Chains A and B, each alone.
Chain A
């Protein structure tokens, strides 16, 4: 599904990604861990097409296509979803209006008719339940006045609405209390299917108690320096990163 090969990227003059290699297949969950400043968020931004970052070397293939050539919105329509670490507040744009536009824009790119109003409302209700997000948030502006936990649950709700092939969740667990963490993680778990994949970027092992990864990678100084299975996350929790970095 996703093949990242020797990916280098910089922001302004600073090189942040220094040769990432990663392959993700359908049905897999990958966790990317690593200390602050190692390039985790940069990786997710580069995949999404954030124009602040400039790819200087390497390639990314997604669903058999050159991902880096595509616009941000095209990548989304191809099935790439980014769960934002800091979801953006958009005053004046209602959740319902925003999601209808998003769903229909993606459908249009995929050559499908716009979704019927009744079907859309039913879908909104069903998907909101996955992350226990109440009806009242749907009438509000996107993320405006949402609590930290509501914003993160809203990201997973949008993921459920858009049904991406690959979801990249950038520190979705940061700033969450235990209950919100459980709701978010259970939501992600419910959305797992054999034909989709998830990359979970996280600082902490605790999220991985709920979302069991198939692979755990350690990102340090712009490179993946170590990969393993879910036991690696536990080991990092116990011993930190130094033993890997110093190897």
Chain B
């Protein structure tokens, strides 16, 4: 297990090529800020051998007034099980989590989120989107402790199914023991909007381009602020071609 102490403002941008299980803990100290961007792909030979899920476990401990912005992009993996545990330990801490997962037929991804509000005046948001050709799971747990008054916790999970055999499991779970909180969640599973595709085609845009444009628009909010956006879009584009 790796442990990082974040004491100032730090920016980490990773491209993880998964070879085995990963365990990381980030301790974000009082007033510090972590901006973490993580692209995850699996090497071809590791994919072939994958029988069990590769597990990525990341724990974030946020002290008083700490800020976390995390963006995970699971682009090309066989069986990936990601658990992120957010412990909002100090008052006034803030966690903003976004993520995108893409699976092709025969691939499975799981995103398991545990958002633990343990003290008052903390805010959290989760926005996870999926382009799903295989199986994708989103398990979003928001836990709000009895003392964690004035919590704001938001959760959004949106999925587009890319073929008839694709499957999405979206499981929001809100466990709230405080009474003065603001909490909301939303989940959707759908297909590319056929009316929009028709509209784009009527303006002369070929069908495949129209579909690609719609998918890019769908994921835009997950990738727009990424520092290596071009590299990322290339990875995504290459993946979409296989779907």
Contact = CB atoms under 8 A, between A and B. Distances in A.
Interface of A: 48-51, 71-73, 75-77, 81-82, 84, 87-93, 98-99, 101-103, 105-106, 109, 141, 158, 162
B200 interface: yes
B217 A92 contact: yes
B196 interface: yes
B201 A93 contact: no
Nearest to A84: B199
Interface in B158-207: 193, 195-196, 198-207
Nearest to B219: A92
A82 B202 contact: yes
A98 B204 contact: no
Interface in B77-122: none
Given A91-B217, A93-B213, A109 B204 contact: yes
Contact of A88 (B196, B206, B209): B196
B14 interface: no
Interface residues of B, number: 22
B198 A50 contact: yes
A158 B203 contact: yes
Contacts of A158: 203
B220 interface: yes
B218 A92 contact: yes
B220 A101 contact: no
A106 B203 CA distance: 8
Given A88-B195, A93-B213, A98 B220 contact: no
B240 interface: no
Cβ-closest 3 pairs across A and B: A92-B217, A76-B204, A106-B204
B56 interface: no
B204 A102 contact: yes
A73 B204 CA distance: 4
A106 B206 CA distance: 9
Contacts of B207: 71-73
A199 to B, nearest CB: 15
A72 B220 contact: no
A88 B209 CA distance: 17
A101 B203 CA distance: 9
B224 to A, nearest CB: 10
A101 B213 contact: yes
B214 interface: yes
B199 A76 contact: no
Interface string B211-243: 001101110110000000000000000000000
A231 to B, nearest CB: 33
A92 B220 contact: yes
A93 B201 CA distance: 14
Nearest to A78: B204
A90 B220 contact: no
A136 B48 CA distance: 50
A76 B214 CA distance: 19
A86 to B, nearest CB: 9
5 contacts: A72-B207, A89-B196, A93-B213, A102-B205, A162-B203
Contacts of A48: 202
B204 A90 contact: no
Contacts of A87: 199
B196 A90 contact: yes
